Amino acid sequence: MVEKATLNRERLLSRFLRYVQINTTANAQTDEYPSSAGQWQLGEILLAELNEIGADDVHVDSNALVWALIPGNVPDAETIAWNAHLDTSPETTGEHVQPQVIESYGGGDIVLPGDTSKVITVAESPELEALIGKTLITTDGTTLLGGDDKAGIAIIMESAQYLLDHPEIPHGPVRILFTCDEEIGRGINHVDMDKIGAVAAYTLDGGGAGDIDIETFSADGLKITVHGVNIHPSIAKDRMVNALRAAGALLERLPVDQAPETTSERVGFLHPYVVQGGVAEVVIDVLLRDFDTEQLQVKADLVAAIARDVEQDYPGITINIEHQKQYRNMADGLPVEPRAVKFAEQAHRELEVPVRLSSIRGGTDGSMLTEKGLPTPNLSSGQHMQHSPLEWACLDEMVLQGQVLIQTTMLWARNEN
């Protein structure tokens, strides 16, 4: 076992608590990037902190992307990158987050103080059983926590400070990049890949300790627009064509056995998640997800066939479908640079941390970075029950992941075959 980096856990916790209280909820209903002002605000905070710890090339660009560089101290060592995202999921509000710190967790269910009907149960989070005595951070039950991905940001910031404070640790250059709007599939839309200048990268956007995500879903989206005809209901006979009724019929006909609530493991899904509109027009947003990229088109074709049937059954209705590519399974691109996974695995083993190569039913910025030629596996960051008021994080896992990140970075400098 090698000596672990002694990260400052109190400072790491302080960073995390500070970051989660900035509302950075992504907004898919705007085309602006970033989609929320809070991402600019958090970016400015990180800009100041990166300058304070002595990083190089610190700046926020015109798209609110935060950039920095930790210079290497090993001649000719290759550059790697660390990435996390500023935004949080729009599925639960991120406004007025009031984090709760539980020191020396004693076990059992956790009733949240802001809404006592919200309970983090051991049944739903069985990993709690292995964390007795650890420090947990929860919401108060009225918002999400934002551990996805502010836990990743805090780990990167503390790890960066550790390397800068300990010049005796051998490492190559490390490019730091904090992106925006990952939660709505736009995370690297404005990233200059040449500017990253790395041979591999790591997203810090995973769950509990010990996982290296090497496979993700491939993902597309559908925007279904149901067009009807609106007219005053007093004169509507034989003239009104109600888009709401047709949209309801379409939703009813989507296969239940392909829904996220009925699928697991390697089975993909078809997920309507937003419906907006009225009699004249209804817009339905649908997620398509599968580990097999070719199945995305199969799912899209199924929705198109259902739409045509609904048009036949509801005369006067027209349905348009816009198919949007999102991200692709990172497993397709990681073999281009096998050291990305190899060194992360080796770091876990050298630190005697159990490691598991895993597949996730979702995606990260690493999915798109990998597709663009920068192999980017996803590392754990101590976040659990993401996107919900039951979200929580474990400080001890965050500290451990910082140690893994630093050890991985040292291995790149050694570059042993």
- Reported as a single tens digit per residue, the pLDDT across 167-180 is 999 999 999 999 99
What residues form DSSP beta bridges with 105? none
208 and 232 inside one domain: no
**Full 3-state SS string of the chain:** CCCCCCCCHHHHHHHHHHHHCCCCECCCCCCCCCCCHHHHHHHHHHHHHHHHHCCEEEEECCCCCEEEEECCCCCCCCCEEEEEECCECCCCCCCCCCCEEECCCCCCCEECCCCCCCEECCCCCHHHHHCCCCCEEECCCCCCCCHHHHHHHHHHHHHHHHHHHCCCCCCCCEEEEEECCHHHCCCCCCCCHHHHCCCEEEEEEECCCCEEEEEECEEEEEEEEEECECCCHHHCCCCCECHHHHHHHHHHHCCHHHCHHHCCCCCCEEEEEEEEECCCEEEEEEEEEECCCHHHHHHHHHHHHHHHHHHHHCCCCEEEEEEEEEECCHHHCHHHCCHHHHHHHHHHHHCCCCCEEEEECCCCHHHHHHHCCCCCCEEECCEECCCCCCCEEEHHHHHHHHHHHHHHHHHHHHCCC
Do the domain assignments include residue 1? no
Examine the fold and report which residue of 308, 327, 346 is the final residue of a domain before the chain moves on: 327
Give the pLDDT mean for 292-317.
Answer: 98
Per the structure, the complete domain to which residue 147 belongs is given by 9-216+329-414
The tokens 């790149």 sit on which residue?
Answer: 412
In a domain, 307, yes or no: yes
**Residue 131 located in a structural domain:** yes
Domain's final residue, options 281, 312, 327: 327
Residue 111 sits in the same domain as residue 176? yes
- 8 A C-beta contact, residue 136 and residue 163: no
* Domain at 64, CATH number: 3.40.630.10
pLDDT interval class at 4 (50, 70, 90): confident
Residues 204 and 341 in one domain: yes
Domain count of the fold of the chain: 2
Together in a domain, 21 and 62: yes
Please report whether residue 2 resides in a domain.
no
Asked whether the whole model's pTM tops 0.85, one would answer yes
Active-site choice (49, 148, 182, 345): 182
- For residue 165, being part of any structural domain is answered with yes
Q: Do 323 and 336 lie in a common domain?
A: no
Residues 94 and 228 in one domain: no
Bridge partner list, 271: 287
327, 346, 379: which is the final residue of a domain?
327
Q: Residue 185 — very low, low, confident or very high, per pLDDT cuts 50/70/90?
A: confident
> 146 and 85, same structural domain?
yes
Indicate if 144 and 71 belong to the same structural domain: yes
**Rounded to an integer, what distance in angstroms lies between the CA atom of residue 15 and that of residue 412?**
27
Residues 369 and 321 in one domain: no
Same structural domain, 321 and 335: no
Directed axis angle between helix 147-165 and helix 395-414, to 10°?
50
For 98, 114, 152, 400, the CA distances from 395, given in Å and listed in that order, are 16, 21, 11, 9
Tell me: do 13 and 83 sit in the same domain: yes
Is 3 part of a structural domain of the chain? no
| Residues 265 and 256 sit within 8 Å (Cβ to Cβ) | no
Instruction: Give the C-alpha separation, 272 to 399, whole Å.
Output: 37
Residue that the structure tokens 């597709």 belong to? 371
Average predicted confidence (pLDDT) for the chain = 96
Nearest alpha-carbon partner for 142 in 91, 95, 105, 89: 95
Question: What is the per-residue pLDDT across 118-171, written as a single tens digit (0 to 9) for each?
Answer: 999 999 999 999 999 999 999 999 999 999 999 999 999 999 999 999 999 999
- pLDDT tens profile 14-69: 999 999 999 999 998 899 999 999 999 999 999 999 999 999 999 999 999 999 99
User: Does residue 395 lie in a domain region?
Assistant: yes
Answer whether 316's CB lies under 8 Å from 289's CB.
no
| Residue of 49, 87, 149, 337 with catalytic role | 87
Give 66-87 pLDDT, tens digit per residue: 999 999 999 999 999 999 999 9
Pick the closest to residue 9 from 334, 397, 337 (CA basis): 397
The answer to whether residue 182 is catalytic is: yes
Residue 358 within any structural domain of the chain:
yes
In this structure, are 388 and 301 located in the same domain?
no
Tell me how crowded residue 217 is: count the other CB atoms within 10 A of its CB.
27
pLDDT above 70: residue 340: yes
- Whether 118 contacts 390, CB under 8 Å: yes
For the record, the structure tokens of 184 come out as 């709505």
Question: What CATH number is associated with residue 237?
Answer: 3.30.70.360
Confidence of residue 3 (pLDDT cuts 50, 70, 90): confident
